[in-house]
Amino acid sequence: MEYRTLPHGGEKISVIGLGSGSLCGTEQEMMDVILAAIQRGINYFDMAPSKKAPFYAYAKAFAGYRENIMMQMHFGAVYKGGNYGWTRNLNDIREQFTWELKLLNTDYTDVGFIHCIDDREDLDEVMNGGIWAYMKALQAEGTIRHLGFSSHNPDIARRILDTGLVDMMMFSINPAYDYRKGDYAIGEVEERATLYRECEQMGVGISVMKPFAGGQLLDAKTSLFKRALTHEQCFQYALDRPAVMTVLPGVRNMQDLETALRYVSASSEEKDYSVIGEFTPQDAKGVCVYCNHCQPCPGGLDIGLINKYYDLALAGDEMAAGHYRKLPVKADACIRCGHCELRCPFHVKQETRMEEIADYFKKYL
């Protein structure tokens, strides 16, 4: 398992985490899945199941592992009557959070999320109606270690990032939504890409929900591109976006967990998602998505990473030049062989871009 470091706090987060929305079966079956996930290196867990029942399985499975795992708890997901419900009632939110802490036998959550915030009126209510103040107070006393939020809307996300107080964002990321296909495909192509870069620049980590667009991308009949992608391709696509720490597939059972964990040992060919180059909208053509399908580069350049650092630097990320400086082979090593341009499904003119990148970073070397 690969781990990524949360910029604010330094915690190591497994690149594959566990979404809880689909977990089902008996308590024992759910416990077995959670324990198997921990034993296979998963240490990051979303805590917004669709029913109350999985909480009891989590409580038993996490016993003895609290210091080894991280939870993201949602302020606004409640379980009156046993089923998930969305609320902005502060008393209900407080009651739910207190119950979760007690059941899970802990006195803190690693991440406290404003749950599912997608429009401006709701943002106003959260920020001015007491919920945000309550969460900030919990953070001040150490009961929430990191503040965050889950959203599908880049405009709302940016407004919350502007508070400068959040360390984590849960966002729906997959190639279909990024290319404006599907119900949650909110925001233009560039607006979404800019949001990820801004998170990276601000040191805000992203946990990814809906990596398969609710499963639609996995089947050619339902795929928003009319072509099925694999789990491994969807994971890699999400993990290649700036700021992404972890992807949280919603596993139902042990079989789903095994499917998700196949990513860990998959080859780079299996993870290659460059087939999406065939579906890119006009305004996304010529834009590097960091997929590295153009490898191998005879000059030894990590083309995807060099492009990512450049885009981040242009977006104002002051750390990007430092990351670039540490690369063993830099853009000026490009021998203009043209191999990458022939291979790139996104039609990126990499020879001129490498010249531009080398020129840009010259002053930082």
Residues of the shown chain interacting with ligand SF4 in the complex, contacts defined by CB under 6 A: 274, 288-294, 297-299, 301, 303-304, 307, 334-340, 343-344, 346, 348, 350-351, 354
Amino acid symbol at 340 = C
Closest approach, Cβ 219 to ligand SF4, in A, equals 25
Question: Which ranges of 63-216 would DSSP assign to H, the alpha helix?
Answer: 90-103, 120-128, 131-140, 154-161, 175-178, 189-202
Closest approach, Cβ 310 to ligand SF4, in A, equals 11
167, with CB counted inside 10 A (0-12, 13-18, 19+), is buried
Closest approach, Cβ 248 to ligand SF4, in A, equals 25
Cite the beta strand spans of the chain per DSSP E.
Answer: 3-5, 12-14, 44-47, 70-75, 77-78, 85-86, 109-114, 144-151, 168-172, 205-209, 244-247
Q: Which is nearer to ligand SF4, 101 or 333 (CB)?
A: 333
Q: Which is nearer to ligand SF4, 66 or 343 (CB)?
A: 343
Closest approach, Cβ 272 to ligand SF4, in A, equals 9
Q: Which is nearer to ligand SF4, 146 or 308 (CB)?
A: 308
Token pair for residue 287? 């834009």
Closest approach, Cβ 296 to ligand SF4, in A, equals 8
Phi, psi of 212 (to 5 degrees): -110, 20
Amino acid symbol at 183 = D
Q: Give the list of residues 6+ apart from residue 140 with CB closer than 8 angstroms, or none.
A: none
Q: Which is nearer to ligand SF4, 92 or 332 (CB)?
A: 332
